[in-house]
Structure 1
Amino acid sequence: MVLRCDGLSYWAPRRRGAPPFRILHGVSTTVAQRSITAVMGPSGSGKSTLLEVVCGARTAGSIAGDLALSGASLLAGGPSRRLRDWYRTSSAFVPQQDVFLASLTVRQFAAHLALLVLPAGLETAAKARAAYELLERVRLHEALDTRIGDGGFLFLDEPTSGLDATSSLVLLACLDAMKNGDGGKCVVLTIHQPRQEVFDYMDQVVVLVKGRVAYDGR
């Protein structure tokens, strides 16, 4: 599978009748199955916004350009049910902010998420097994707010933020295993000032500056 952004632009709404604020300016790039892509750039360059727009997490504002999965547009007729369905069934998004329920254990929290986001027809026991397998796979508390599912695309916003050097490499090794495992996930993550050891895991690097692609390659 190949996901392509073609001239993707995004305007965020502002209050009190002010004109929308443009954050993304004609972003074009392609990410493919069995790859890890780092989206980099200074603060305010649009890294997180790009992930949120691609995932359908930005429900306000306006979008121009196209987003296509293996040649089939996800934005035909405007962002709609097709994009939301793709996000729910074929991708997962891990936001930068941790969202935990203090009254639950890690295992209980993951199981609770599984009940919410996995298909309604799946038995509770199967959802619990999926939650347990996720906990075994990631091994890091900081990564346990991952959407539980088996989609082909995984988007993470600053997943190494707050982690020490060793934990960051353990997380990246986990993502690399997902990339190379059965199904071959496409991993796209935003990252800030990575070290060489982190770069070694990347197949592609996209650099944004003021909402525009300044570099796309390796």
Structure 2
Amino acid sequence: MEEPLLRVQDVGKFFPPRERNAQPFWIIRGLTFTVAEGEFVTMIGPSGAGKSTLLNLIAQVDTPSEGEIAFRGRTISSPRSTVLRPGFDRQIGYVTQEDNLLPWRTTLDNVLFPLELRGGADAQGRARAGELMAAVGLAGFERHYPHELSGGMRKRCALIRTLLYDPPIILMDEPFGALDAQTRAQLQEDLLRLWSMRRKTIIFVTHDIAEAIVLGDRTLILSRPPTRIAGAHSIALPRPRDVHAAARQEGFAALHDAIREQVR
């Protein structure tokens, strides 16, 4: 059996009590799942289910209180970890709810920034940046600054910046949550288009059931704290997917209802 790219095994995370003699609060406990190379996994759960906490553990922004996280068969995080390595040496990309663009850099310079940190943006890197920017409608905005871009364009810039340095796995924490419905649908299309170009492994956290279905190969449902996997569904909708027509495809409504019941 092929080793999964990522394995989360019996992971738990607690926060120390705020009051004397109180018990620690376990936000996550006994959480186990795997992610295969090239798989697009969406993750959904009730508010406060520890979705962002889980991504922080995978990204090594924080360490688990129990269990372990393995990447390509190698344990990269456990309670025994003594040094945090956020992003695990550029192996793990992380797209947060904020775009985190540098306001003094142009769109192109923001996109190229990770390559500069790695040693420089060569001709191949610049060509790849141009290809990705053209794919999502940012061609012609290379010299614009973040304050001159719309919210959707800023999100596209942040996404391309992560894709450009080509990490094996990308974590996405509700990146489209604050946008209007029309912009959100366009960004979903953009993400699927970009994903189809390289088939990067993605874990995408969302509160939106329809978004979880239209994007993913598989969706995982998280329970209320202490969080565990409450359900998992393979998504058989054919690719490439039309974001606007997906809800009319056979099986969508039944899957949506099943996920909604488990999220409740």
Structure-1-length-normalised TM-score = 0.78
Residues 36 and 176, structure 1, Cα contact 8 Å, conserved in 2: no
Secondary structure, counterpart of 2:165 in structure 1: coil
| Per-residue deviation, 1:36 | 1.4
Residues 41 and 202, structure 2, Cα contact 8 Å, conserved in 1: yes
Residues 114 and 128, structure 1, Cα contact 8 Å, conserved in 2: no
Residues 34 and 179, structure 1, Cα contact 8 Å, conserved in 2: no
Secondary structure, counterpart of 1:161 in structure 2: coil
CA RMSD of aligned residues (A): 3.1
Spell out, residue by residue over 1:39-81, the C-alpha distance to the aligned partner (whole angstroms, 9 max, x if none).
Answer: 11111011111111111122xx643112122333223673356
Residues 172 and 198, structure 1, Cα contact 8 Å, conserved in 2: no
Residues 49 and 222, structure 2, Cα contact 8 Å, conserved in 1: yes
Match of 1:155 among 149, 161, 171: 171
Alignment correspondent of 1:142: 155
Alignment correspondent of 2:201: 186
Which amino acid in the other structure matches residue 143 of structure 1? Answer: R
Match of 1:45 among 43, 49, 71: 49
Gaps of 5+ in 1: none
Residues 87 and 93, structure 2, Cα contact 8 Å, conserved in 1: no
Alignment correspondent of 1:87: 88
Distance 1:194 1:84 in 2: 32
Q: Does 1:204 align with 2:202?
A: no
Secondary structure, counterpart of 1:200 in structure 2: helix
Gaps of 5+ in 2: 138-152, 235-264
Spell out, residue by residue over 1:147-200, the C-alpha distance to the aligned partner (whole angstroms, 9 max, x if none).
Answer: 341112111000221223343333333333444334x311111111233x6513
Bigger mean CA deviation after superposition, 144-153 or 104-113 = 104-113
Change in 2 beyond 3 A, CA 1:143/1:13: farther
Distance 2:86 2:98 in 1: 24
Distance 1:16 1:125 in 2: 57
| Per-residue deviation, 1:4 | 1.3
| Per-residue deviation, 1:215 | 1.0
Residues 6 and 65, structure 1, Cα contact 8 Å, conserved in 2: yes
Structure-2-length-normalised TM-score = 0.66
Higher Cα Rg: structure 1 or 2? 2
- Overall identity of the aligned pairs, in %: 26
Alignment correspondent of 2:243: none
